[in-house]
């Protein structure tokens, strides 16, 4: 049976786009892409009338959103080795290697983490994010390595999504960035949105953006590079990569936000999701896991020490 969600818009949320608002206020049950699709299908009503995906909210709007049951998954289960750090009946934590795409998309129809998870979990994954992203609570980029949490059940997914929204979900990364970071620690508080010209890129912008905060500290300085630790307060697309480039220290190896002449040996950005911590959605126990720096990262640090 479809699920009906009811909301009433507060004055401070007036003028927000409805797809963005639903993604931010549905506790993980509706992503922005899903909200846009639901609007296109006439499944989102304001004051009893269907609205389009770019509808601007008004104070007092009463929204009714009909979320259909998850569609039958049409993504192949593939026997791909996974580095499972933790697993129980509700969730698992996986250590993703550099180069693995998280979920199928154009150009990457298979060989993804989702394909591997479908085989490993025998299809037991939360359905909140729909057909293409079962179990995926948050993502890391293809060429970012490290820890990622996966929900097996909808209740786990909703709990974890709420923790991310409330900033109680711990995500700590390590990176090597270009240049000498002068401050021993700092915070980048700058909104991130889609690039106006290159829609595949994100950027710091006030236009159609979302609040984004990254805390960083220096681990070690080298000639021309700095090894840093970053803690995410928010989790926007490409957040660390965009924020570090914004302050003049793009991530080493980043072929999107870094210099045109990239460090080919890195095969992508030198960025690793090192620590993940969260409150277990059923037991309430705080769990934290740490992933060792992978070979590509330690080898690059070794060259900087020479």
Burial class (CB in 10 A: 0-12, 13-18, 19+), 94: buried
For residues 178 and 301, membership in a common domain is answered with yes
Give the pLDDT of the chain (306 residues) as one tens digit per residue. Answer: 567 888 899 888 888 899 888 887 776 677 777 888 888 888 899 988 899 988 999 999 999 998 876 555 567 889 999 999 999 999 999 999 999 998 777 677 788 998 899 889 887 888 766 555 678 888 899 999 999 999 999 899 989 988 988 899 999 999 999 999 999 999 999 999 888 888 789 999 987 678 999 999 999 999 999 999 999 999 898 999 999 999 999 999 999 999 999 999 999 999 999 999 999 999 999 999 999 999 999 999 999 998
pTM greater than 0.85 (yes/no): no
Q: Which domain holds residue 220?
A: 170-273+296-305
CA distances to 5, 64, 138, 158, 283 from 38, in Å: 12, 11, 21, 19, 34
The DSSP-derived string for 215-281 is EEEEEEEETTEEEEEEEESS--TTHHHHHHHHTT-PBTT-TTTS-SS--GGGSS--EEEEEEEEE-T
Instruction: Determine the 3-state secondary structure of 19 from DSSP.
Output: helix
For residues 45 and 124, membership in a common domain is answered with no
CA distances to 210, 238, 245, 248 from 196, in Å: 15, 16, 17, 20
Domain closes at, from 33, 67, 101: 67
For residues 136 and 246, membership in a common domain is answered with no
40, 41, 110, 141: the catalytic one is 141
User: Residue 77, Cα to own-chain centre: how many angstroms?
Assistant: 23
For residues 11 and 117, membership in a common domain is answered with no
Residues 6+ apart with CB under 8 A from 86: 92, 93, 287, 289
How many domains does one find in the chain? 3
Query: Would you call 74 a catalytic residue per the annotation?
Result: no
């Amino acid at each position: 049976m479809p699920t009906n969600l009811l909301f009433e818009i507060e004055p401070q949320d007036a003028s927000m786009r409805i797809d963005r608002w639903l993604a931010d206020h549905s506790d993980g049950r509706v992503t922005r892409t899903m909200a846009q699709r639901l609007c296109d299908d006439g499944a989102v009503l304001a004051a009893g009338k269907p609205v389009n995906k770019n509808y601007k909210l008004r104070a007092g709007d009463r929204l009714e959103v009909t979320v259909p049951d998850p569609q039958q998954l049409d993504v192949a289960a593939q026997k791909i080795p996974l580095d499972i750090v933790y697993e129980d009946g509700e969730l698992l934590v996986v250590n993703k290697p550099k180069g693995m795409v998280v979920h199928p998309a154009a150009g990457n129809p298979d060989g993804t983490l989702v394909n591997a998870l479908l085989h490993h979990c025998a299809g037991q994954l939360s359905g909140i994010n729909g057909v293409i992203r079962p179990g995926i609570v948050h993502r890391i980029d293809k060429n970012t390595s490290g820890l990622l949490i996966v929900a097996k059940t909808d209740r786990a997914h909703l709990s974890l999504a709420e923790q991310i929204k409330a900033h109680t979900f711990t995500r700590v990364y390590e990176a090597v960035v270009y240049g000498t970071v002068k401050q021993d620690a700092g915070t980048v508080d700058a909104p991130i949105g889609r690039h106006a010209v290159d829609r595949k890129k994100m950027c710091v912008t006030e236009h159609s953006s979302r609040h984004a905060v990254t805390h960083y500290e220096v681990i070690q300085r080298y000639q021309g590079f700095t090894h840093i630790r970053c803690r995410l307060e928010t989790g926007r697309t490409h957040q660390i990569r965009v924020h570090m480039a914004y302050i003049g220290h793009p991530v080493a190896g980043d072929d999107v936000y870094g210099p045109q002449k990239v460090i080919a040996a890195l095969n992508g950005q030198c960025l690793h999701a090192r620590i993940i911590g969260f409150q277990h959605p059923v037991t309430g126990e705080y769990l934290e896991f740490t992933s060792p720096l992978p070979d590509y990262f330690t080898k690059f640090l070794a060259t900087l020490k020479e």
